[in-house]
Every structure is written in C-alpha cells, then in structure tokens.
Amino acid sequence: MSLPDHIAQKIHALRAALREHNYKYYVLAEPSISDLEFDQQLKALQDLEQAYPEAYDPDSPTQKVGGEINKQFATFEHEFPMLSLGNTYSEAELLEFDKRIQKQLGHTNYQYVCELKFDGLSISLHYDNGQLIRAVTRGDGVKGDVVTDNVKTIQSLNSRLQAPYPEKIELRGEVFMHRPAFDRLNMEREEAGEPLYANPRNVASGTLKLQDSAEVAKRPLDIFLYQLLEHKPTINTHYESLQSIRQWGLPCSNNTQLCNSIQAVFDYIKHWDEARKLLTYDIDGVVVKINDYHQREELGYTAKSPRWAIAYKFKTEAACTPLLSIDYQVGRTGAITPVANLQSVFLLGTTVKRASLHNANEIERLDLRVGDYVYVEKGGEIIPKITGVDLSKRSDQSIKVAFITHCPECGTTLIRQAGEAQHYCPNELNCPPQVIGKIQHFIHRKAMDINGLGDETVELLYQAGLLKSIADLYDLSYEQVIQLDRMADKSSSQLIESIQASKQVPYQRVLFGLGIRYVGETVAKKLAATFKHIDALKAASKEALLAVDEIGERIADSIVEYFQSDLHCQMIERLKAAGLCLENTAEAPVQLSDKLQGKIIVISGVFTQFSRDEIKAMVEQHGGKNAGSISAKTHYVVAGENMGPAKLEKAKQLNIPILSEADFLALIQA
C-alpha cells in the first residue's frame, strides 16, 4: 500500500522538527519548545507511524529510544586491526615525518588530509547491504565489545545508508559528547545528589558500556565518522571516501581539509589550535594522513601504527598563578566542595579565577598551602583544575591546608562515611543551602514543575521565614506571598494556583522531587513501578530494594536511611495531608487468561493489525512477561516487519521459537 502524499509530508515534517529540537536540547542545551510540546509532537509521529507501517524508518526519532539490555557484551575480532597513531607535539617532528614520507615515496607528489582529533571513544561500524549490523569498540585493537544497540540510539547516526552504496563496508569514527550537553547532564546529576562527571570523554566512554540501551538513549552522544575500510576498494583517495560517507547520509566533520604541502598542514594546525575554543566539543589535536590509498600501501605499517599518518597533539594550555584562599561550598545533599580562589589568569579564551578541588583527598594529594603558586589547566576539562604546585616558589612559612571540620554555613560538625572521599554536613533540616537547594530541586520542571516559583523566589520565601521544608509550600497563602518584594497581585495568584496544580503531578515525579540521595529521575520511575505507594517504599527492606532492576547497594542504603528519619516521615505525612499523589494509580492490566503464564516474550519489528504496545499489553493480559532483549530465558520472539537482524540471528542461535503476528494471536486465542 502506497503512502498518501499528505501523510508522507506530515511524517517528514514531524521527523525533521523533532531532530532539530533534539539537536537544540542535547547539543546546544538551548531547548526551543517545552517538554510537553516535544512529547506531543513525538506522540503525533508515533501515531502516524503505527497507522502507516509502510512509513517505518529505523532512524526516525521514535526509534532512537533504546530498550535492549545486555548483561554481558559479546566480543568481536576486528577484520582490520584498530591501530593507534604515532604522536608528536612539535613542528620539527612533523617536518621529520614529512621527510620520511618523501624519502619512502621517492617524490613530492602527494597530498595530506588534515582532520580534527576528537576527544572521544573510537568505534567501528559494519554495514551490510546498507544496513548497520554491528558496532564494535576499539578494545585492545584486535578485539572489541559489540555495542550495536547502544550506538543505534545516537540521534545523528543513520542505521540505513542512502543509495548507492557498496555491498559491505566498515567505517571507523569517534563517539563523543558536546560540552553544552555535558554541562546539562552534570546539572541533572547535581540535582539528583549524584557525583559529577569529570569530562565529556569519560561520559561517552562509560555510556557506551551501559547495559540498558534505553538509558544510553537519554545520554546525548554524537558521532563523527572519519575512515572507510573495504576488502575490495572502490575509491582511490581518503578525501573522496569522506565525501562518499556524507553522501550515504552519515555524519562527518566539516572541518577536514585537503593540503598540498606540509606548510598547509602547519597553517591548519595553527588555525585550529586557536579556533578549537569555538567548537561545541573537545579536540586534543590534529590527525595528518596521506590522501592516496596506493601511496598508503607503499608506505605500510609498523607493528603499532601506520607509517602514513601521525597525530599532532596540542599542548595543554596551563598557567601558574597564586592560590589566594579556599572556599567551601555546601550542596543540596550536604556535600562539601572546596573551591580554590586564584589570582586571575587567562586560559583557553576565558579568565579563570576559581578551580574546583573536589574533596579532601585532592587537597592532600597536592599538599596545598595558601600562597602556593599552582599550575592550572583546562585541557579537555570544562572546569579548570589544579594539577600541581611550583615548590620552588613556596614560602618557608607556608602552612599546610587543613580541611574544615565544621559546616561553613551552619557550624555543624562534618561527617565522612567510610570509603567516601566527600565530607557532608548532616544538618539537612536547618543548614540554609541544603534547605533552599532541596526546595529548588522539588520545584524543578522534571519534579513538581511549579511555574512562577524560581530559585530566587525560593530564597526570598526562605529568608522571610515562610519556607523551611518542601511541605511548607502547601501552607503558603496569597496573603503571605503578596507581602514579599517583587511579588505583584497577578504573580502571587499564579504562584498559589501553580502550587495547588502540582498536587496532580504523578507519584514517580513526587518521589524524584523528594531529593533522596542517588534517586534520580530514572530510579524514581523504577521505584514507583515496584512500590506502588509511598508507604510500601517506606517499609521496603534493603533486600527488597536490591531486587529492583538497576538498584544497587548504594541506592538501597540511601533509601533505607532516608525513611529511618522521623523528620522525613513527618514531612511525607504533611504532603499526604496536602493531597499530593503518593501512589501509583496506573491501572494493572486486565487478566484475560494464564495461557502465557511464566513465559518471557520479546516483541520486535512493525506489525499490521496491532501496535507493539498493544501486543505487549496482550502478553501481560495473558500472564506473560515482556522483555527488551533476547536471552536463553526467552520463550518466544514475536516478529514483525523490519525486525532487527541482530535479534533475528540471536533468536536462531538460541533456537527460540519465532512467532508471526498471526501465530501470536492464534496462541492466545487457542
């Protein structure tokens, strides 16, 4: 059945708009529409794709949500070893490299291709007949981990090539994260009371090894491809291959340059050593490659690296400046973070006055003294860091920094749990930054989403003595709010209305808003699905919590500790009395039969009579359990059109029965 033109146009427009919104949200960290508007557009696209299965596209925004869970990654031996490159930090060594090329080739008739050296994670992609069938990490260069399901969640990567394309190809590239997206991710972790990530590269690397691809999809990864590998080459030069990769609809950097001389290479390096400050992602150098593939063959390889390529590494920009003092900041969870105050110094385009010292261990490692001249670097880090001390400039009278013993805000004695690097202030109910931070977290758009109540207004209400805990929000009156500075009649009325409206926010978001340490948005959803009422969660043992998918020791201990506090329990009783939703009201599926009792079923592909969600609901209605990935425990795979080849292959290897839509319906109707 052909797709009506007006439907095809509508689907195309929705996909284009959603891709643009994803880019603005994830990469630029500048969302142009609300979460609600985005969800509405996504739902409209999902409805159209379900109504018109012939419009299925594996690269639609609706298909980039993951869902596969791998308890153990398979390994795959690279057909072409993933070798490392030789490095240089000087123009003199780069000139030596050029002389060796000239000597080996016996002439100067060669070109270089210069590329940015992305600071991410190397990946190998295998396409058969235009379809992505395998994604493999570098590993040890000989074997890597198969992370196909995780890589497919990357928004910019097409799982299907645009024709014409070779029958079988391998592509190499770099998975990375844009800095604005990294900053947003760290902000969300801070709100959840979780440790912050050090840099985008570490996040990208760790994300690709997550077991749940649905979680990977929530991390804003991106990818650039920079190398084509073929058993029977159809292209003669590297620069041409990059043009082909673009024509196949795959992401390539636009900052690659063809250079006819070593001087042109130097000009490229000089330009990007400065211009890298303007990029949204991190680079740590430039890769220089011979363009012609026949010349590459002539030049050959060493045991570890190709002779036809070299990486020029930028020097990490650093400065030496006096340490003036150390401040100690108190976070929402009570975590104490030392911050170094420095004499102003210019680094990578910005003036640096402060640098995080992370914790007491870092101060001890550096053996810091106030007045020391310290080395400060930015490098791949977003936040400046102190890397060392110039001991030759240290005063004989300097005194070693001793970490504070009492909270700088409320004076409470700090605690430090065994095995943890962080100090904490335990006075969570009366320490101002903690109280204010918890309320600011509670009103966050992903929690209670209370419009008209921003961070500054929370501080204003706290200073006025009207807010001492999140439960106090529901005792506020118009008469109290109107008395505050900058609060007019309309804004006061809207604030009270928004607070009342937040009582309709579902249980899982209220749970997230409570600010239990380590309970982020995703963990809150899993807890709400398992413990249907707040009282059930309160009564849950550590063992019961550990039985929930992805709940580990640290999270379980934190939840148990939270509900052991009488003050927390009293606050929750106040929230109950105020009418907040503290139970999961989603209806349980109606049980029609037990024909699938004890059966684990995987649904994959696109169906004609029912949507995937409808078939999943039928599985539960007949006593079965849905699973996202195939394992030895799977009893059936219900396969529709365009079922993933990896899933199909795995099901066959494990001899798992594969049912069509008609087979499944016959099974439950028998």
Positions marked active-site = 117
Q: Where are the beta strands (DSSP E) in 139-298?
A: 143-145, 168-177, 221-229, 257-259, 283-290
Distance CA 18, CA 162 (A): 20
Distance CA 404, CA 401 (A): 9
* CA distances from residue 17 to 60, 219, 249, 399 in whole angstroms, order as listed: 11, 20, 18, 59
Instruction: Print burial letters for 38-73: b (CB count within 10 Å at least 16), e (below 16).
Output: beebbeebbebbbebbebbbebbbbbbebbbbbeeb
Distance CA 29, CA 183 (A): 8
* CA distances from residue 129 to 161, 170, 651 in whole angstroms, order as listed: 9, 12, 21
- C-alpha dihedral sign at 654, 660, 662, 664: positive
**Within 10 A of 628 (CB to CB), how many other CB atoms are there?**
16
Pairing of strands 309-313, 87-88: parallel
Q: How far is CA 586 from the centre of its chain?
A: 29
**Residue spans of alpha helices (H) in 413-453:** 432-442
Distance CA 15, CA 21 (A): 10
Distance CA 383, CA 373 (A): 19
**Within 10 A of 297 (CB to CB), how many other CB atoms are there?**
11
**Residue spans of alpha helices (H) in 135-222:** 148-151, 179-191, 200-208, 213-217
Q: Are 118 and 251 in contact (CB under 8 A)?
A: no
Distance CA 658, CA 116 (A): 46
Residue 283's SS3 state is strand
**Which residues touch 637 (CB under 8 Å, ≥6 apart)?**
601, 602, 604, 630, 647, 651, 656, 657, 658, 659
Q: Where are the beta strands (DSSP E) in 291-360?
A: 309-313, 318-330, 335-347, 350-356
Burial of 391 (0-12, 13-18, 19+ CB in 10 A): exposed
Take residue 130 and report the two structure tokens written for it: 């235009």
